[in-house]
Amino acid sequence: MAHLFDGSVPHPPLPGVIPQLGEMFQAAGFELSLVGGPVRDLFLGRVSPDLDFTTDARPDDILSVVRGWCDAYWEIGREFGTIGMRKDGFQIEITTYRAEAYDPESRKPVVAFGEKLEDDLYRRDFTMNSMALRLPQLELVDPFGGVRDLHAGVVRTPGAPSSSFSDDPLRMMRAARFASQLDVTVAPEVFDAMKDMAGRIEIISAERVRDELVKLINGRSPAAGMDLLVESGLAGYVLPEVAALKLEMDEHHRHKDVYQHSLTVLRQACEQETGPDGPVPGPDFILRFAALMHDVGKPATRRFEPAGSVSFLHHDVVGAKLTAKRMKALRFDNDTIKAVSRLVELHMRFYGYGDAGWSDSAVRRYVTDAGPLLERLHRLTRSDVTTRNRRKAERLAFAYDDLEERIAKLAEQEELASIRPDLDGSQIMELLGIRPGPVVGRAYRYLLEERMENGPASPGEAEAKLRAWWQEQPESRQETGEAELNKTEENS
């Protein structure tokens, strides 16, 4: 075992809360170790704001030590041996040594408290997370070669992978997430176990699967993590629409490899993200997931044309529906579902602009339909260009540059981000002398259409257009007839 400060282990400065806790638990007669991800992060040169500790103390004993020291504490995980707390801006969890397993037919862990640090480390997911730092002496405990595997960039399990994945099948997705976050590969025996046990992921709740998926997509190399999900068979259970792209390989090469194209678009979308002060700060899950899912409608819409070509008519619309359905199954919130599926639906809208050009009204519709997603749509559309034909790529890039310039010029003249009719609902009712109802909605949509087609109009022009439209409506003629009838009755 190595001492963290013996010079052989480079690391950033330890936050003061770590040795403080070690001394407090030692004084109370208990063991305490920093464990898991925070220890791994020290070898990666960073300190996480979330600190995990393990101890031989039971939950009641943990509380007796930290009361009065921490800023706040909570007991939500008490039945699993975990007490959470906050101190000096750090989120801290202290957990009693334990052994944890899943019943083969259950989603809930069966918890038994352990007695030894080494036993606790053995039950953890991967060797790079099975390291501990004994406190307060700062002694590194690494019984399964976590430092070795971390430096080698390989994901291994402390024991047999099949036993680890049987205990918690979500660990298979976590391996793919590590491939994305840490640029590591999985050991052959780990990959084989993932393939053999992929179906076990079905016992895990949709919410936990979703959370791992979000972390994977937001990692440094999401395409690598996703490829591992697909190749292992896990994607067939958690993202079958992406797995279907792999099955859609065209052995006659009549169209491009949609699966590899989607991974390339995902990589390029990551490169399109901006810094924290830009319009699309990375990592941006909505942009990235839309990039991954943008072509999932192709397998259902593929048609072989008489001339030998292949078409995917309306794959954007079909893909948007499939994306929304999958995200609902994974329990995403409605706003995220709407944003991602809308981007998938709009990703083909630009094509054709470079050949025929668009009227100002078409540009207005593009901006209005994208709404707050416009900056993401810009980046998704640019990311979707993966052709190796340099001339074609340059032509598409030039065309999109031109579209963005036109949007900017129109935005200087008009409020493109919030296009509204030149008259609102109250003005419509006042001018036409009508009450709230469907007719007001029709009039509003008519004026919005006029605004899209012709740009902003003066109040007088908008009123003239509205009155001319009103004369063509059956309700106008009905009201005129009733007025004439009333006048006749009054004269008689």
- Each residue's pLDDT tens digit, 424-478: 888 888 888 888 888 888 888 878 777 777 777 888 888 888 888 888 888 876 6
pLDDT at site 409: 82
pLDDT at site 99: 66
pLDDT confidence tier of residue 487, bands split at 50, 70 and 90: very low
pLDDT surpasses 90 at 52: yes
Tell me what the mean pLDDT of segment 402-407 comes to. 88
Of 339, 260, 250, 256, which Cα lies nearest the Cα of 292?
Answer: 260
- As a dihedral over the C-alpha atoms of residue 374, residue 379, residue 385, residue 390, rounded to 10 degrees, the angle is 120
Question: Which residue has better confidence, 129 or 461?
Answer: 129
pLDDT confidence tier of residue 488, bands split at 50, 70 and 90: very low
Structure tokens at 319: 């893909």
Contacts of 257 (CB under 8 A, 6+ apart): 249, 250
81-114 pLDDT tens trace:
999 999 999 999 999 998 655 565 555 556 677 7
- Dihedral of alpha carbons 68, 70, 74, 77, sign: negative
Whole-number Å distance between alpha carbons of 105 and 359: 60
Q: How many CA atoms lie within 13 A of 104 on its CB side?
A: 3
Tell me what the mean pLDDT of segment 46-74 comes to. 94
Beta pairing partners, 102: 109
Tell me what the mean pLDDT of segment 230-245 comes to. 96
48-52, 122-126, 241-245, 301-305: least confidently modelled range: 301-305
Contact assessment for residue 407 and residue 363, using Cβ atoms and an 8 Å cutoff: yes
pLDDT confidence tier of residue 167, bands split at 50, 70 and 90: confident
pLDDT confidence tier of residue 252, bands split at 50, 70 and 90: very low
Beta pairing partners, 113: 98
pLDDT at site 468: 87
pLDDT surpasses 60 at 255: no
229-238, 335-344, 444-453: least confidently modelled range: 444-453
Beta pairing partners, 72: 86
54-58, 72-76, 464-468: least confidently modelled range: 464-468
Tell me what the mean pLDDT of segment 2-14 comes to. 58
Contact assessment for residue 225 and residue 219, using Cβ atoms and an 8 Å cutoff: yes
133-147, 186-200, 432-446: least confidently modelled range: 432-446
Q: What percent of the chain has pLDDT over 90?
A: 59
Of 197, 112, 190, 121, which Cα lies nearest the Cα of 157?
Answer: 190
Pairing type for strands 2-3 and 109-113 reads unpaired
4-18, 338-352, 375-389: least confidently modelled range: 4-18
Q: How many CA atoms lie within 13 A of 375 on its CB side?
A: 12
Tell me what the mean pLDDT of segment 481-485 comes to. 48
pLDDT surpasses 90 at 406: no
pLDDT at site 253: 47
Contact assessment for residue 4 and residue 140, using Cβ atoms and an 8 Å cutoff: yes
**Cα→Cα distances 110→52, 101, 107, Å:** 20, 5, 10
pLDDT surpasses 90 at 153: yes
Tell me what the mean pLDDT of segment 281-285 comes to. 97
pLDDT surpasses 50 at 483: no
Mean pLDDT of the residues in the chain: 87
pLDDT surpasses 70 at 229: yes
Among 15-29, 406-420, 433-447, 462-476, the range with the most confident prediction by mean pLDDT is 15-29
Whole-number Å distance between alpha carbons of 183 and 92: 27
pLDDT at site 115: 81
**Cα→Cα distances 353→163, 272, 314, 397, 404, Å:** 55, 21, 18, 11, 12
Question: Which residue has better confidence, 114 or 352?
Answer: 114
58-67, 96-105, 118-127: least confidently modelled range: 96-105
pLDDT at site 232: 97
